[in-house]
């Protein structure tokens, strides 16, 4: 493909693909075009990672603009810049916010239809305050990468080249004001900037010398969750609260048994286990399983008030498989009445984990998904074991990016 790299082509963008890129055709070949909107005609530059079967390209200029195009929310990522110099991390920032959600809806609905043969009219719901701010000011965590000269900034879109910037419009006001965009970090790999619910902004400098872990506190509703400063937490300032409520609503109370062997898989520091226990009472039995031992330790503390809650450190795929193989008859009875909350990484649960969960025969699975294609694939795997997608909601936890979160309920029988 080297002979085509750098070639300029003029194409009509017809629809959106997973990953937030537009889809076009040129001389019969599919072209995935970044920074374009379906309905536009653009001039795009073919990139070096194109394949024989398809090309990748980056929009250089717009010939016919979509009615949904707007000035980019981040000047560092604007189409006015050469593609190589555009900051990454806000790939939908040139699209009007309501249409961003429509494109995300399309990707989710089309993935479910294509992969799982499920028809859905799901809508992508905004989080409080995002419309008023045009989808900016929501990130509580930002990673800045450091180049050879010590400058910190985001990577360029679709590359590992650091782009110096003077603003971080997706970050909360507190984080944005404290971000060290003009400091020298020579000798470091990256700098994480985070603004927890309490305690103010802090930096975690990554390099050869690991920075000592400290504990932070995040507040969700009336609850506090303790976790490591470098540990996983939802990035959007309102996401933890939104997912707490969404998971609580997704559990069908007619199928929920607080005395069953309820599970929270890929449970982190216990946020969603706490959501379930909060809804169904302090006697709720629920086990959270997480491979990160540090997170599991925090989960044990965060769930201490629920006498039936416990935390396990294990790889989910192995733990569930072992449980399915070793459960006694009485244990299988408790599992058959169980609700399982499943919040896998972006790659999804996968065939083997779904099969192991299905072998437990729980009454329902509440699936929290951050990737629509992986989610649709897993819905199809669950269908093969007799589980039907009975409820689905989607949330715009990442405005001005292509990412979307879904919460689905899968019921047996």
- Pair (242, 364) in one structural domain: yes
Token code pair at residue 18 = 């997973």
- Pair (271, 357) in one structural domain: yes
Structurally, the chain folds into a number of domains equal to: 3
* Average pLDDT for 405-409: 98
In degrees and rounded to multiples of 5, residue 181 shows phi and psi of: -75, -15
Give pLDDT tens digits for 281-305: 988 999 999 999 999 999 999 999 9
**What pLDDT does 397 receive?**
98
With contact defined as beta carbons under 8 Å apart, do 94 and 13 qualify?
no
Give pLDDT tens digits for 130-153: 999 999 999 999 999 999 999 999
113 labelled as ligand-binding?
Answer: no
10 labelled as ligand-binding?
Answer: no
Domain of residue 329, CATH code: 3.40.50.150
**How confident is residue 1, by pLDDT bands cut at 50, 70 and 90?**
very low
**What pLDDT does 171 receive?**
98
pLDDT for residue 2 is more than 60: no
**What pLDDT does 213 receive?**
83
**How confident is residue 413, by pLDDT bands cut at 50, 70 and 90?**
confident
* Average pLDDT for 80-96: 97
Q: Within 10 Å of residue 337's Cβ, how many Cβ atoms?
A: 18
Give pLDDT tens digits for 170-192: 999 999 999 999 999 999 999 99
174 labelled as ligand-binding?
Answer: no
- Pair (256, 372) in one structural domain: yes
**What pLDDT does 209 receive?**
66
**What pLDDT does 158 receive?**
86
- Residue 74 within any structural domain of the chain: no
The Cα–Cα gap between 214 and 236 comes to 21
Structure-derived torsion over alpha carbons of residues 210, 215, 218, 219, reported in degrees to the nearest 10: 180
- Pair (401, 366) in one structural domain: yes
The Cα–Cα gap between 58 and 37 comes to 12
pLDDT for residue 208 is more than 60: yes
User: What's the CA angle centered on 111, arms 63 and 17, to 5 degrees?
Assistant: 20
**How confident is residue 21, by pLDDT bands cut at 50, 70 and 90?**
very high
**How confident is residue 52, by pLDDT bands cut at 50, 70 and 90?**
confident
- Residue 343 within any structural domain of the chain: yes
**What whole-number percentage of the chain has pLDDT above 90?**
93
The Cα–Cα gap between 129 and 396 comes to 12
Of 260, 370, 392, 394, the active-site residue reads 370
**What whole-number percentage of the chain has pLDDT above 70?**
99
234 labelled as ligand-binding?
Answer: yes
- Pair (170, 301) in one structural domain: no
* Average pLDDT for 373-397: 98
pLDDT for residue 169 is more than 70: yes
* Average pLDDT for 267-278: 98
Residue at a domain's end among 184, 218, 252? 218
pLDDT for residue 229 is more than 80: yes
**How confident is residue 5, by pLDDT bands cut at 50, 70 and 90?**
confident
- Residue 231 within any structural domain of the chain: no
**What pLDDT does 371 receive?**
97
The Cα–Cα gap between 223 and 368 comes to 21
**What pLDDT does 50 receive?**
73
- Residue 91 within any structural domain of the chain: no
* Average pLDDT for 319-337: 95
- Residue 77 within any structural domain of the chain: no
pLDDT for residue 394 is more than 90: yes
- Pair (292, 321) in one structural domain: yes
**How confident is residue 66, by pLDDT bands cut at 50, 70 and 90?**
very high
**What pLDDT does 410 receive?**
98
**What pLDDT does 358 receive?**
97
**What pLDDT does 211 receive?**
74
Looking at every residue in the chain, the average pLDDT score rounds to 95
Token code pair at residue 222 = 């009336």
- Pair (111, 252) in one structural domain: yes
**How confident is residue 98, by pLDDT bands cut at 50, 70 and 90?**
very high
- Pair (348, 404) in one structural domain: yes
Note if 370 is an active site residue.
Answer: yes
SS3 readout for the chain:
CCCCCCCEEEEEEEEECCCCCEEEEECCEEEEEECCCCCCEEEEEECCCCCCCEEEEEEEEEEECCCCECCCCCHHHCCCCCHHHCECCCCCCCECHHHHHHHHHHHHHHHHHHHHCCCCCCCEECCCCCCCCCCCCCECEEEEEECCCCCEECEECCCCCECCCCCCCCECHHHHHHCCCCCCCCCEEEEEEECCCCCCCEEEEEECCCCCCCEEEEEECCEEEEEECCCCCCCECCHHHHHHHHHHHHCCHHHCCCCCCEEEECCCCCHHHHHHHHHHCCCCCEEEEECCHHHHHHHHHHCCCCCCEEEEECCHHHHHHHHHHHCCHHHHHHHHCCEEEECCCCCCCCHHHHHHHHHHCCCEEEEEECCHHHHHHHHHHHHCCCEEEEEEEEECCCCCCCCCEEEEEEEEC
- Pair (169, 123) in one structural domain: no
- Pair (113, 191) in one structural domain: no
- Residue 82 within any structural domain of the chain: no
Domain of residue 43, CATH code: 2.40.50.140
Q: Give me the residue label for tokens 């269908």.
A: 383
The Cα–Cα gap between 373 and 371 comes to 6
- Pair (124, 209) in one structural domain: no
Q: Residue 22 belongs to what domain range?
A: 8-69
- Pair (111, 182) in one structural domain: no
* Average pLDDT for 230-243: 97
Residue at a domain's end among 185, 218, 251? 218
């Amino acid at each position: 493909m080297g002979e085509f790299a750098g070639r300029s082509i003029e194409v009509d963008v017809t629809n959106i693909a997973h990953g937030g890129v537009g889809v076009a055709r040129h001389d019969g070949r599919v072209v995935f075009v970044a920074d374009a909107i379906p309905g536009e005609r653009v001039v795009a530059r073919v990139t070096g990672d194109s394949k024989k079967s398809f090309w990748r390209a980056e929009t250089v200029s717009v010939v016919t603009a979509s009615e949904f195009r707007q000035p980019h929310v981040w000047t560092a990522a604007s189409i006015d810049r050469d593609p190589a110099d555009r900051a990454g991390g806000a790939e939908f920032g040139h699209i009007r916010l309501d249409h961003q959600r429509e494109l995300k809806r399309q990707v989710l609905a089309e993935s479910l239809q294509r992969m799982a043969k499920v028809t859905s009219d799901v809508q992508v719901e905004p989080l409080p305050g995002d419309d008023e701010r045009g989808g900016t000011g929501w990130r509580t965590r930002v990673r800045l990468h450091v180049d050879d000269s010590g400058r910190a900034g985001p990577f360029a879109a679709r590359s590992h080249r650091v782009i110096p910037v003077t603003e971080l419009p997706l970050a909360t006001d507190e984080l944005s004001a404290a971000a060290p965009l003009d400091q020298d970090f020579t000798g470091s790999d990256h700098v994480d900037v985070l603004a927890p619910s309490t305690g103010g902004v802090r930096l975690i400098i990554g390099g050869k010398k690991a920075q000592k872990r400290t504990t932070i506190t995040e507040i969700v509703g009336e609850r506090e969750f303790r976790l490591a400063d470098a540990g996983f937490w939802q990035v959007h300032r309102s996401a933890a609260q939104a997912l707490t409520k969404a998971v609580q609503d997704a559990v069908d109370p007619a199928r929920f048994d607080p005395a069953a062997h309820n599970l929270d898989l890929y449970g982190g520091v216990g946020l969603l286990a706490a959501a379930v226990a909060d809804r169904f009472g302090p006697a709720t039995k629920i086990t959270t399983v997480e491979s990160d031992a540090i997170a599991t330790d925090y989960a044990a503390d965060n769930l201490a008030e629920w006498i039936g809650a416990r935390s396990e450190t294990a790889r989910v795929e192995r733990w569930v498989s072992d449980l399915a193989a070793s459960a006694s008859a009485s244990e299988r009875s408790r599992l058959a009445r169980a609700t399982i909350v499943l919040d896998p990484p972006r790659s999804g649960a996968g065939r083997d984990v779904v099969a192991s969960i299905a072998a437990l025969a729980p009454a329902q699975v509440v699936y929290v998904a951050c990737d629509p294609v992986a989610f649709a694939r897993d819905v199809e795997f669950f269908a093969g074991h007799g589980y039907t997608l009975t409820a689905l909601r989607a949330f715009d936890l990442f405005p001005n990016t292509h990412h979307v979160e879904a919460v689905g309920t899968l019921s047996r029988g």
